Amino acid sequence: MNTTNTIHSHSNDPMRAIRWLTYMMFFMFAMTSDAVGMIIPQLIEEFDLSMTQASAFHYAPMAFIAFSGLFLGFLADRLGRKKTIMLGLAIFAVSCFLFAFSRSFGFFLFLLSCIGLAIGLFKTGALALLGDISHSNHEHTKMMNKVEGFFGVGAIVGPAFVSFLLTQEVSWTYLYIMAGVLCLLLAIGAWRIDYPTAVKHSEDAQPASLKVTMSMIKNPYALGFSLAIALYVATEVAIYVWMPTLLADYDGPWQLLATYALTVFFILRALGRFLAVWLLNRFSWQGVMVCLSLGIALCYVFTLIGGVNWAVGLLPLSGLFMSMIYPTLNSKGISCFATQQHGAVAGVILFFTALSAAVSPLLMGMISDYFGHVRYGFVLATGFAFTLFVAMVFNYLKNPADEALTQHDALTAN
């Protein structure tokens, strides 16, 4: 029997509210995750930590996001999108509020681990939900770029709010209290909204399970897109983890740009994700990926050639080229699969995303320590960027996912 997917809605037009709820979940997630770089120096001073110890504030939640995505992603398919999102938001909100009741670094680390687990839950649920409300993989890709655009805005607001707190001599923990309040409001909104239900009509379909998720790692589409995303993430985290350290040596005429380089990077990344909708309406996504990945690779190559004097302009500029690569690859990877598998495949992709975000900056740090300067870590990042470009050229020339994406559109249309 053929498998078809139909979407049933329990209200006249819940899609607008669902989209905005998803946008705000990603905004909230970015506020906390991308502000860690501002918090780490405070932790070192407050708890007398080494840089390795303090960096656990970045690695711990990423590790638990990876764990949650791989081992719990199937819950979005088994329990349903709404229950999975609600569970993730509940854990996130409680963990954030508990920041107000402790001054222990170990307990903060535990709470961040719980937050990572929660993000893995509600993010896989939200990504699967986008597939439910999209009518084609092209529409899904544009919506994914909008979602990641709001993530980009959150990445600007979170660090800015921490900076404001510190200038007012107020504890950085209030960032998490504010995120907890926002999360509670989102949980109430998620509870009140009627979600569309993806109904599968098939006699021989496998029920969602951890076994099904693990089998997806062997799937060429899931593995291929996951590895491409891991390469992209490795080039991106090099910027927001190590660029401030690289630019600390800069003493040229662009001091203001050097001071706000990370903010400029986040702003360009956010603007580019909203501009992605315009690009995708006019050009093929495969061709756009080649051009943007080439732009990233060139920014890194010329940084190695020109040193810190060129890096002060080129590395922030790379944010514009990076903007739509992650959401587009994420969308295409998910769209290769049937709707009832979107939670599981989103979890697999999220696992590789978080794993790369945790491991690649660590490798850069180790190389930098070994050779005595952070610029040597950027040699590795340049290798990641060039490999990503080669992968995008292969994707453009061979278009290996075309059959799966075309089949997805045919099933959605039915």
pLDDT digits (tens, 9 = 90+) for 7-62: 444 445 567 888 888 889 999 988 888 787 778 778 878 888 776 677 778 788 88
On the 0-12 / 13-18 / 19+ scale of CB atoms within 10 A, 75 is buried
Tokens of 230: 């891991």
**Between the CA of residue 332 and those of 155, 319, 405, what are the distances in Å?**
24, 21, 7
Question: Alpha carbon of 371 to those of 15, 363, 375, 378: distances in Å?
Answer: 53, 12, 9, 12
Q: What is the model's pLDDT at position 88?
A: 93
Q: Taking a C-beta distance cutoff of 8 angstroms, is the pair 46, 313 a contact?
A: no
| Residue 196, Ramachandran bin (φ over 0: left; ψ between -120 and 50: alpha; else beta) | beta
pLDDT tier for residue 305 given thresholds of 50, 70 and 90: very high
Q: Is the pLDDT of residue 73 over 80?
A: no
Q: Is the pLDDT of residue 117 over 50?
A: yes
Non-local CB neighbours of 365 within 8 Å, separated by 6+ positions: 242, 377
Between CA 45 and CA 285 the distance in angstroms is 46
Q: Residue range 208-214: average pLDDT?
A: 65
Token pair of 192 as six digits: 């009140």
Across the range 151-155, mean pLDDT stands at: 86
What average pLDDT does this structure show over 241-255? 84
With b for 16 or more beta-carbon neighbours within 10 A and e for fewer, the 344-376 pattern comes to bbbbbbbbbbbbbbbbbbeebbebbeeeeebbe
What confidence score (pLDDT) does residue 294 get? 97
Average model confidence (pLDDT) across the chain = 84
When pLDDT is cut at 50, 70 and 90, the band that residue 2 belongs to is: very low
CB atoms within 10 A of CB 137: 23
Is the pLDDT score of 342 beyond 90? no
Predicted confidence at residue 113, as pLDDT, reads 93
Distance CA 144, CA 322 (A): 14
The pLDDT tens digits of the residues spanning 154-208 come to: 888 988 888 889 888 899 999 999 999 999 999 998 888 877 765 454 444 455 5
Distances (CA, A) of 374 to 120, 244, 381: 31, 10, 11
Query: How many CB atoms are located within 10 Å of the residue 198 CB?
Result: 22
Alpha-carbon distance of 108 to 116, in angstroms, equals: 12
The pTM is what? 0.78
Among 5-19, 131-145, 189-203, 239-253, the least confident range = 5-19
The rounded distance, in Å, linking the Cα atoms of 96 and 89 is 10
Distances (CA, A) of 404 to 28, 213, 342, 343, 399: 33, 18, 14, 17, 10
7: Cβ contacts below 8 Å, ≥ 6 apart: 132, 133, 196, 197, 198, 199
Tokens matching residue 372 = 């005595």
Burial code of 147-173, b = ≥16 C-beta within 10 A, e = fewer? bbbbbbbbbbbbbebbeebeeeeeebb
Tokens of 22: 């998803």
